[in-house]
């Protein structure tokens, strides 16, 4: 959260830290799958910030007439994390298409390289009519920075 | 949720049932305080529906120029509930003031009369400038129905 | 929630109703992808209940030495839903393997047949050592009921 | 999150930063009251960490036979915050009683001194039988550090 953008986005990979909180776990203290998807959204937000794209004017931009909803998401949850753990998310733009962006996420423990979970999320550019449209050039340019 | 308004609002008391879900508990499987406040919001929504006040045009009503944010809330959490429990909330309008509504909530087990938790929430009528204003008469009238 | 199991599980399809609440939407009032995954978990819980498998002793069962974590999930989000909408989820067991169960979810508006969103979730049976093991026969039998 | 304990707990006041995320707002983009209570829980966790009390062994400690559930909470919500805002929480231990701790929270904008929201939370020490018991001395000592 306090990580500097320059440091945060090296070689196109953004690092976000997430602390497992109350409400993130199942009743047995294990992080459940829904929380990983919530963490992915935070990772996208921080990735955008690191690219100088403020989330509040990127997910929906009324003046420029576009929105960027998440239309598809996938995750695989490999090893358990528990309440209080500090997780490290590595976030990449895996693909930029004409109308869509594909993010990829990898979850690791604070220290160590065991893959805990992985996932993807696809954002599509839409107009005010909710139909897919081309991604604004400035968004593509900003996301391509670190690649 | 499928309870008929007529049945739901007897003598000014509305009954809502809530099932304790993943994400509602602490890592030890006990409902934590934040979830009770979330349940209270659901109880207000169902109370409004039972009074023929659709929540999506009651919490914020652009044509009539008013909103109803919650400006104060309190809760006491007496006995533990766990994952899978079915809770019964009794919701009342405790007071209608010129510019504010005070709701009161009591949580009970599905069957039984042990008070598990209790709370209050105060909603204030505001205008587009976020300043307090008088409650619309139709809102007061609708809420007074069952009292 | 109050739907009878017999009515709920016809031809292997379970119907759950979900109301879109505060906290389920993005800041623009549209249900965001994380909420659909949360709704899927509720749908699994209600499916299990309809098969006489109480969730609190099915996701983790200490006496019988098994757990059923979700190890993979996928969703596609086709059309927007908004605050206050009542959604209908159709849930099926798509596949029962030796060690895993695959659920499939389809989201529809309260009335109507436009597919709003769809998804899958894979649960794997594990032992106390977190290693995959065969699904208990009674779980397989209960889930196969309505197929 | 990366703030050093020494810096974080000056004169008994702990500073936590919170970013407003998807799911924290009502459908109109305004932080709703439930989220403030969730933020309060995070503030307690970070306060405990700053006092060298790891939350995962403080809220429930099986070896020492105590738990610290939140039994009462209150909040007043004065000014609206919106999606993307960075909030600063000032957290204090307002009172340490024989069996209870009272935390106080004040919410401010990232820069500035307008009080956005305020609240309190009471934690009670309980034994394995869920009955109130005296706070462990080491907890009292740790919390009194910065006062």
A23: left (phi > 0), else alpha (psi -120 to 50), else beta? left
**For residue D2, pLDDT beyond 50:** no
> Does C1 reside within a domain?
no
Residue D19 Cα distances to C101, D79, D110, angstroms: 37, 16, 10
Are the C-beta atoms of B88 and B109 separated by less than 8 Å? yes
Q: Which of A34, A33, A56 is nearest to A44 (CA)?
A: A56
Q: Which domain holds residue C99?
A: 11-144
Is the Cβ of C82 closer than 8 Å to some Cβ of chain A? no
pTM here? Answer: 0.94
Whole-number percent of chain D with pLDDT over 90: 88
- pLDDT on residue C8: 60
Active site annotation includes B26 = yes
Q: What is the mean pLDDT of residues C93-121?
A: 97
Q: What is the mean pLDDT of residues D6-16?
A: 76
3-state secondary structure labels for all residues of B59-117: CEECCCCEECCEEEEEEEECCCCECCCEEEEEEEEEEECCCEEEEEEEEEECCCCCCCE
Helices (H) and strands (E) in chain C, counts: 3, 8
* Mode of pairing for the β-strands spanning A70-77 and A86-96: unpaired
Number of domains in chain C: 1
Q: What is the mean pLDDT of residues A130-145?
A: 94
- pLDDT on residue D46: 96
> Does C45 reside within a domain?
yes
Which is more confident, C5 or A59?
A59
Point out the residue among C22, C45, C84 whose CB comes nearest to the CB of B41: C22
Indicate the helix (H) or strand (E) that contains B140: helix B137-144
User: How many inter-chain contacts (B to C, CB under 8 Å) are there?
Assistant: 36
> Does A26 reside within a domain?
yes
- pLDDT on residue B8: 60
With contacts defined as CB-CB under 8 Å, which chain A residues touch D1?
Answer: 1-2, 17, 19
- pLDDT on residue C145: 75
- pLDDT on residue A10: 75
Point out the residue among C27, C34, C82 whose CB comes nearest to the CB of D25: C27
Residue D1's pLDDT band, with cuts at 50, 70 and 90, is very low
**For residue D7, pLDDT beyond 60:** no
Q: Which residue of D has its CA nearest to C35?
A: D23
> C69-103 burial by CB neighbour count: b if 16+ within 10 A, else e?
bbbbbbbbbeebbebbbebbbbbbbeebeeebbeb
Candidates D24, D26, D114, D129; catalytic one: D26
Whole-number percent of chain C with pLDDT over 90: 88
Query: Would you give per-residue pLDDT tens digits along chain B (147 residues)?
Result: 344 444 467 788 999 999 999 999 999 999 999 999 999 999 999 999 999 999 999 999 999 999 999 999 999 999 999 999 999 999 999 999 999 999 999 999 999 899 999 999 999 999 999 999 999 999 999 998 755
> Does A4 reside within a domain?
no
Point out the residue among B26, B75, B121 whose CB comes nearest to the CB of D72: B75
Dump pLDDT digits (tens) for A66-75: 999 999 999 9
- pLDDT on residue B5: 44
* Mode of pairing for the β-strands spanning C9-10 and C13-19: antiparallel
Is the Cβ of A81 closer than 8 Å to some Cβ of chain B? no
Residue A146's pLDDT band, with cuts at 50, 70 and 90, is low
With contacts defined as CB-CB under 8 Å, which chain B residues touch D79?
Answer: 130
> Does A120 reside within a domain?
yes
In this structure, the dihedral spanned by the alpha carbons of residues D131, D133, D135 and D138, taken in order and rounded to 10 degrees, is -100
**For residue D81, pLDDT beyond 60:** yes
- pLDDT on residue C1: 39
* CATH number of domain containing D63: 3.10.129.10
Are the C-beta atoms of B103 and B91 separated by less than 8 Å? yes
Chains contacting B (3 or more CB pairs within 8 Å)? A, C, D
Residue D5's pLDDT band, with cuts at 50, 70 and 90, is very low
- pLDDT on residue A147: 57
> Does A72 reside within a domain?
yes
- Give the dihedral sign, CA D55/D57/D58/D59: positive
Are the C-beta atoms of D36 and D46 separated by less than 8 Å? no
Distance CA D34, CA C9 (A): 35
Question: Integer distance in angstroms from the first to the last C-alpha of chain B?
Answer: 21
Of A11-15, A17-21, C51-55, D84-88, least confident by mean pLDDT is A11-15
User: How many inter-chain contacts (A to C, CB under 8 Å) are there?
Assistant: 74
How much is the mean pLDDT over chain D? 92
Q: What is the mean pLDDT of residues C71-85?
A: 97
Of A138-142, C11-15, D100-104, least confident by mean pLDDT is C11-15
**For residue D47, pLDDT beyond 80:** yes
3-state secondary structure of C81: coil
> Does A44 reside within a domain?
yes
């Amino acid at each position: 959260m306090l990580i500097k953008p320059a440091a945060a986005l090296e070689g196109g990979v953004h690092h976000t830290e997430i602390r497992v909180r109350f409400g993130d776990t199942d009743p047995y203290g294990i992080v459940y799958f829904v929380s990983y998807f919530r963490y992915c959204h935070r990772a996208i937000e921080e990735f955008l910030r690191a690219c100088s794209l403020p989330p509040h004017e990127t997910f929906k931009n009324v003046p420029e007439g576009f929105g960027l909803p998440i239309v598809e998401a996938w995750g695989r949850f490999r090893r358990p994390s528990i309440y209080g753990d500090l997780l490290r998310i590595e976030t990449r733009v895996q693909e930029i298409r004409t109308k869509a962006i594909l993010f990829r996420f990898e979850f690791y423990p604070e220290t160590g390289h065991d893959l805990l979970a992985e996932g993807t999320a696809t954002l599509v550019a839409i107009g005010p009519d909710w139909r897919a449209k081309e991604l604004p050039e400035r968004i593509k340019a900003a996301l391509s920075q670190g690649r």
